[in-house]
Amino acid sequence: MRSHVSQRGYEAVIFDLDRTLVEHDQDPATLFDAACSATGIEPFCQPETLELAAEVVREGSEELDAVSYERRVFATAAAATDTDVPASELVQAYNDVLDNQAVSLRPGADTAIESTADLATAIVTNGSENTHTTKLQAVGLTKHFDTVIFGTDVPQVKPASDPFELALDRLRVEPSRVLKVGDSLFRDVKGANKLGLDTAWIPFDDRRRGVNDPEPTYTLSSQQIFLRYSRRDCFGGEVWGSRATGVERSEDAVTGSVASSVASLQKACSCD
């Protein structure tokens, strides 16, 4: 176990996996259409609607296991379009057509991970062990972390406290000495904030934080920015609090999208 302490006081960094370190290469619309076809139903929404449904589920419930979470996302999107779907079958069909080897590292992710080599590191993901181990193997990350917490390891997935508490226990660190890095305000930031972890939010697809959304400690524009400043000042001091390009304190984060998008979920469900 590594025991270096950064100037900011961090002993460990916990990363999210999907859309933080890796992203899928397959087209979401093609995947969804194939899953619907395998289930014997017509596609009932666009992939963007599934994203919004996922935000609704994450924001509205903290008591789901990994399987229930996936089923709830499809059921929520279907309900918004007044469509009755076999959610469990659709989840299975989607996972069958999803190639978990067809993933790539997000730009800057590999060097960002290398910059934490002197600290304890973990991944906390809502995905199952069998699917997400495949992703880690595909991008060569299986030996880069001290521990990995999968959604199937805990009774309830993020933003519930269970996976974060398990990671802290395995790393043997106090919450105040940990930085959580992730792309989701509700899965990553909200869950970590509850336990007193500092959080670095790296938005995916230029997503913006709404005024009522969970508030991260830092907002970064990319993994490259994470790398630049972690190397320069070991996660600390003036750099993280500065107005350098790509880094903003969370109270200055722009208002907007997630909360308002969730509110308009039903209006967004169009399958042209």
Tokens read off for 76:
């929520």
CB crowding 221-231: b at 16 or more within 10 Å, else e: ebbbbbbbbbe
- Is residue 247 pLDDT above 70, yes or no? no
Please provide residue 180's backbone torsions phi and psi, each rounded to the nearest 5 degrees. -100, 130
Q: In the predicted model, what is the mean pLDDT of residues 67-92?
A: 92
Q: Give the 3-state DSSP-derived string for 21-71, with helices as H, strands as E and coil as C.
A: CEEECCCHHHHHHHHHHHHCCCCCCCHHHHHHHHHHHHHHCCCCCHHHHHH
Check pLDDT > 70 for residue 158: yes
Distance CA 195, CA 177 (A): 11
pLDDT band at 266 (very low <50, low <70, confident <90, very high): very low
Q: Are 202 and 190 in contact (CB under 8 A)?
A: no
Q: CA of 21: how far to CAs of 81, 124, 136, 147, 203, in Å?
A: 32, 11, 10, 15, 12
Q: State percent of the chain over pLDDT 70.
A: 76
How far is the CA of 255 from the CAs of 183, 210, 211, 251, 260, in angstroms?
16, 4, 5, 10, 10
> Do 153 and 164 touch, CB atoms closer than 8 A?
no
Q: How confident is the model at residue 4 (pLDDT cuts 50, 70, 90)?
A: low
pLDDT at 8: 53
pTM of the predicted protein model? 0.79
What is the token pair recorded at 177? 């000495």
Put the strands of the sheet holding 247-249 in their side by side order: 147-149, 120-124, 12-15, 178-182, 198-201, 218-220, 247-249
Calculate the alpha carbon distances from 229 to 131, 218, 226 in Å: 32, 12, 6
